[in-house]
A = this chain, B = another copy of it.
Amino acid sequence: MAAREKTSRLGAGTTMAQVAERAGVTKMTVSRVLRHPEKVNPETRERVSAAMAELGYVANRLAGSLNAGTSGLVAAIVPTLRHSLFADTLEGISDVISQAGLGLFVSSSDYRSDVEENQIRSILERRPDALVLTGLTHTKAARDLLRNFGIPVVETWETDDDPVDMIVGYSNREAAHAMTVELIRSGYRRIAFVNGPMESNERARHRAEGYLAAMQEAGLSAPPIHVVHHDAVIQPETGAKAIRVLRQQPGIDAVFFTSDVFAVGAILACRELGIDVPSQLGIAGFHDLEVGRVVSPTLTTVQVPAMEMGRKAGHMILARLAGRKLPSRRQDLGFSIISRESTRRGH
């Protein structure tokens, strides 16, 4: 009589053994019905299926995963979910991997590589099938951990010659360079650059390099880079503040922001301050967010393949998990300069 003590509660409590007992078979046969139905006699299969339905059986993947040594999980670490940027990348990953039955595990690191390292440690304990990281800035410990662990790792949002494993993105250096060249081409000369904190984030650093290189190549002197504080949330007000500071400096005729959000805040501030954009001041952003298409004047910006990076990362992972060799560990998806009204200077 103790043999069927748990029969009353459905779902979570039901095990394969209980289903088996009910169907008058062993759990191995139940397992076969789920994994290799063709190997089971149709009548038996029918009985087992009925038993599963009656008991509301839900397989426990944890057990199978333990056996297989793998979890069917792809983990992704993004700096933040608060802006659609990285969420787009996640959507791309999710789209692709879910078709292969893999799930997406997400954490956000708040742009801090020490936090990221801890998250990686904790994630690896879950034995993910693969890991997607944002950017190249990881602690040494994190890199070592990942290299030793041996699962596919995809870095995103940048290109690099020496990724931990694979990489898909675009060149932030070239993108910032191209935008700076575009501003110069439009007739701006004293171009300020407003950037995120560079020490914790190679994307910001590379963009600064691209900007400085372009200025130098054009024989222009670059005003000091204006760095927004890490704690300054990515919001328009931060861009507005930058404008108020930069207008003190003489002769600035354009400002290149590394986020559209900042740039849009700047445009609004200019409107209030009576600074005409683009004739008195050119303004450019980065990322091609919707806000930039909607402000007036519309915002010149760099379009980046946020979603496409996610898809590509997903495909690279699937290929590797399927044992296929990739033509290259590096995928440069490029970027586009979108020239709009905010830099369209009347010549």
| Total interface residues in chain A, CB < 8 Å | 57
Interchain CB contact (< 8 A) of A104 among B9, B83, B107: B107
B296 and A296 contact, CB distance less than 8 A: yes
- The verdict on A112 contacting chain B, using a C-beta distance below 8 Å, is no
Question: Which one of A151, A264, A291, A307 has the greatest number of beta carbons of chain B within 10 Å?
Answer: A291
A22 within 8 A of B: no
CB proximity of A55 to chain B, nearest CB, Å: 10
Take A66-B63, A149-B12 as given contacts and tell me if A121 and B58 are in contact as well, using a CB distance cutoff of 8 Å: yes
Please name all residues of chain B whose beta carbon is closer than 8 Å to the beta carbon of A62 when the two chains form the complex.
62, 65-66, 71, 126-127
| A293 on interface, CB distance cutoff 8 Å | yes
Q: A63-B66, A261-B290 are in contact. Are A82 and B84 (CB under 8 A)?
A: yes
**Beta-carbon contacts under 8 Å, A104-134 to B:** 104-108, 121-127
Q: So how many copies of this chain end up in the complex?
A: 2
Q: Is the CB of B94 within 8 A of A106?
A: yes
| A26 contacts the other chain (CB 8 A) | no
Complex Cα distance, B145 from A124, in Å, reads 30
Complex CA–CA separation, A161 to B62 (angstroms) = 35
Instruction: Kindly list chain B residues whose C-beta atoms are within 8 Å of the C-beta of A236.
Output: 290, 293-294
Chain B residue at minimum C-beta to C-beta distance from A73: B105
Given A106-B106, A107-B104; A124-B82 close (CB under 8 Å):
no
A249: interface (CB < 8 Å): no
Q: Chain B nearest CB: distance from A98 CB in Å? A: 7
Nearest residue in B to A63 (C-beta to C-beta)? B66
Q: Whose C-beta in chain B lies nearest to the C-beta of A127? A: B62
Shortest distance from the beta carbon of A110 to any chain B beta carbon, whole Å: 10
User: Is A163 among interface residues, defined by CB-CB distance under 8 A?
Assistant: no
Q: Are A105 and B105 in contact (CB under 8 A)?
A: yes
A/B interface sample: 27 pairs, CB < 8 A: A11-B145, A11-B150, A12-B149, A56-B148, A58-B121, A58-B124, A58-B125, A58-B149, A59-B125, A62-B71, A62-B126, A66-B66, A81-B91, A82-B84, A82-B307, A83-B87, A87-B90, A94-B106, A98-B107, A103-B105, A103-B122, A103-B123, A103-B126, A104-B106, A105-B105, A105-B106, A264-B290
Residues of A near any B CB (own CB < 8 A): 9-12, 56, 58-63, 65-66, 69, 71, 73, 80-84, 87-88, 90-91, 94, 98, 101, 103-108, 121-127, 145, 148-151, 236, 261, 264, 268, 290-291, 293-296, 307
**Closest 5 CB pairs between A and B?**
A87-B87, A11-B148, A81-B91, A10-B148, A61-B125
